[in-house]
Homo-oligomer: A and B are copies of this chain.
Amino acid sequence: MDLPSKILEQAVEQLATLPGVGKRTALRYALHLLNEDEERVRDFAEAMVHLKTGLYRCRHCRNISDTDVCPICASDKRQRGIVCVVENIQDVMAIENTQQYRGLYHVLGGVISPIDGVGVHDLEIASLLRRVETGDPAPVEEVILALPTTMEGDTTNYYINRQLQPLGVKVTTLARGVAVGDSLEYADEITLGRSITGRIPFEG
């Protein structure tokens, strides 16, 4: 589609870099902004830049935060001896939304993936080990590995577990199994298999 203006074209190109946004949708977004007040568009643009200039990574858990130490790490109402290791900040949000977890987090920022050129040193693994070794901000009793069940996730789990063993900390991982409400019939074999091998005492 030919656009009548280079400036509009640039805006469309930028908007089309957003995930899942094609040229048509980007144009729709751009024309929407075009019809807004200048002040509104400035606020919009500023909020985007602020993402890069205003946000901290929490000193302890590497989650995004408005402060040097995030509210979760700063809270004394959490179980500070438990650290849940996740791939990214979306995972923190997902677990927080369950309201079932009261421990702290450690955000790796990815998983080991030689194909994508992501190695151990690109991830927040050293900072996790240091956290366990030094007991800062709190002595760690248990590390929960909550990485994705992919080859990369498994590799990362394996590596971290091996590094943690000498430090004498308890290492656990998420229970995998048939989802609540799903019928066994339609569960995939690997998940159902994990549900059986990982069976737990019945609480009746």
Contacts and interface: CB of A to CB of B under 8 A. Distances in A.
Contact of A5 (B21, B65, B90, B96): B65
A4 B41 contact: no
Contacts of A20: 25, 28
Nearest to A90: B31
B45 A49 contact: yes
> Which of A20, A32, A48, A70 is packed against the most chain B CB atoms within 10 Å?
A48
A200 interface: no
Contacts of A135: none
A97 B43 CA distance: 33
Contacts of A7: 47, 50-51, 54-55, 66
A1 B38 CA distance: 30
A72 B4 contact: yes
Interface stretch (A10-18, A120-128, A155-163, A166-174): A10-18
Q: How large, as a class, is the contact surface on chain A?
A: 35 or more
A19 interface: yes
A17 B21 CA distance: 15
A53 to B, nearest CB: 7
A33 interface: yes
Contacts of A193: none
Given A18-B29, A34-B64, A4 B48 contact: no
> Which of A44, A64, A90, A93 is packed against the most chain B CB atoms within 10 Å?
A44
Contacts of A2: 93, 96-97
A187 to B, nearest CB: 26
A9 to B, nearest CB: 9
Interface in A73-121: 89-90, 92-93, 96-97
Interface of A: 1-8, 10-11, 13-14, 17-21, 25, 28-34, 36-38, 41-55, 63-66, 70-72, 89-90, 92-93, 96-97
